[in-house]
Amino acid sequence: MLIRHTGEPEDPERRQADRCGQRDTLCLSSQVGCRLGCTFCATGTMGLQGNLLPGEIQEQLIHARNLRQVSNIVFMGMGEPLENYDGVTSAIRGLVDPQRFSVAPSSITVSTVGIVGNMRRFMEDLPKVKLAVSLHAPTQELREQIVPIAKTYSLETLMEVVDEYAARTESDGKRKGMVMVSYVLLAGVNDSDECAHQLCDLVKGRPVIVNLIPYNPFEENVYRYETPSPERVDTFQQILAAVDIRVFERRHHGRDIAAACGQLAKIDKTIPASDIESLSFTLAKDRVSAPVARKAPAATPRESTPGPNTQREVSKAGVAAPLVPRSVVVGLLLTASCLSAAVALRWLGRRR
């Protein structure tokens, strides 16, 4: 998804006007669906249908550049980028290659729910590319309810990696060790004053920027989440700001077309998947495994009675092969015989 930032704040009181510069941000997807099943995310309801190839990831930028001059790239679309580690890192290497896309590494951000091992690999492999963390809860117990993968990667371990990342980038220009932490606000779940104070305790003293995201609703959410009121969002934000934590509210870009954060999903799940690059709109694997039976065309009188100067073969499927003139076959055989004779004579000459 391509996000156009006009530079004008949406809020009538012009809150956060200092963050509203003009820019075009491309939100990239790395997978079709996702297997992690975050409870607020529509993509998780699809399950994982496949990883995107590096070229398919880069192709999204090609299409976007036909519309706008992209300023920033964020891997915050469909999928968990670090679950498609090889595809994403290969795609990024192409994006930053001066001979290909020539994107500045510092303008790329990869967001992860916290795949700890691959976060450490990523810091080694692409140290100039930014990492962002999808937190969504201030405690281990609550995070396990909202983000099931937290049962595998504890909050304590995740924050240790955040500290490692901050230490690595402490002297890196504008970043200065800053880590973006995303936090989806769910009404009555993780948006209370208590949660805000717990979040303060968790990130205070760490070089983080907290990105508050009011929940974007979608159909078929079995958890019946609701979006908190603007007043509740403001109160939560003020509690963090009061202890000098850098915090801002993310705009709900794309909500009107079901493309905002957490809304990306296949709307009609009854329609079978198709290969969009195939003009027949059928998957290649289906064409191989179940070929469509074709009727042989009605034979013309000429085809039913081959002449004496033609050869005709019939394949195992019962479909007649094209007619080959006998003169062509004879010519090929004579050429092969002459070549064989020439090779034999040269070999005999060497022996003498």
How far CA 67 is from CA of 233, 276, 285, in Å, comes to 34, 21, 33
CATH code, 98? 3.20.20.70
Residues 21, 125, single domain; the answer is yes
Residue 42 lies inside a defined structural domain of this protein: yes
Q: Which two tokens stand for residue 11?
A: 């809020």
Task: Tell how many helices (H) and how many strands (E) occur in the chain.
Answer: 10, 12
Residue 135 lies inside a defined structural domain of this protein: yes
Residue 217's nearest CA partner among 208, 233, 228 is 228
**What percent of the chain has pLDDT above 90?**
57
How far CA 297 is from CA of 261, 287, 318, in Å, comes to 53, 21, 11
CA–CA gap between residue 241 and residue 236 (Å, rounded): 9
Q: Which two tokens stand for residue 1?
A: 């998804």
pTM beyond 0.85: the answer is no
**Would you state the pLDDT for residue 231?**
96
The answer to whether 57 and 51 are in contact (CB under 8 A) is no
Residues 120, 189, single domain; the answer is yes
Residues 311, 253, single domain; the answer is no
The answer to whether 216 and 262 are in contact (CB under 8 A) is yes
**What percent of the chain has pLDDT above 70?**
64
Residues 186, 59, single domain; the answer is yes
**Would you state the pLDDT for residue 185?**
97
Residues 166, 103, single domain; the answer is yes
Residues 195, 72, single domain; the answer is yes
Residue 287 lies inside a defined structural domain of this protein: no
CB atoms within 10 A of CB 126: 18
Q: Which two tokens stand for residue 90?
A: 């290969």
Residue 213's nearest CA partner among 151, 140, 158, 146 is 146
CA–CA gap between residue 238 and residue 232 (Å, rounded): 10
Show Cβ contacts of residue 55 under 8 Å, excluding neighbours closer than 6 positions: 91
Helical pair 155-168 and 116-125, crossing angle rounded to 10 deg: 10
Residue 108 lies inside a defined structural domain of this protein: yes
Residue 270 lies inside a defined structural domain of this protein: no
Residues 48, 134, single domain; the answer is yes
Residues pairing with 180 in the sheet = 132, 209
Residues 248, 333, single domain; the answer is no
Residues 30, 150, single domain; the answer is yes
Residues 60, 183, single domain; the answer is yes
Domain total in the chain: 2
- Digit-coded pLDDT (tens) for 292-318: 455 555 554 444 444 444 444 433 444
Residue 73 lies inside a defined structural domain of this protein: yes
For 215, what's the count of Cα atoms within 13 Å in the CB-facing half-sphere?
26
Residues 244, 338, single domain; the answer is no
Last residue of a domain, one of 230, 257, 284: 257
Which domain range does residue 253 map to?
A: 2-257
The answer to whether 295 and 74 are in contact (CB under 8 A) is no
Mean predicted lDDT score pLDDT of the chain = 79
Mean pLDDT is lowest, of 153-157, 213-217, 247-251, 263-267, for 263-267
Residues pairing with 325 in the sheet = 310
Beta-strand runs (E) in 173-307: 179-185, 208-214, 246-249
Residue 248 lies inside a defined structural domain of this protein: yes
| pLDDT for 206 beyond 90 | yes
Mean pLDDT of the 278-301 span:
48
Residues 331, 228, single domain; the answer is no
Residue 291 lies inside a defined structural domain of this protein: no
202 CA to centre of own chain: 30
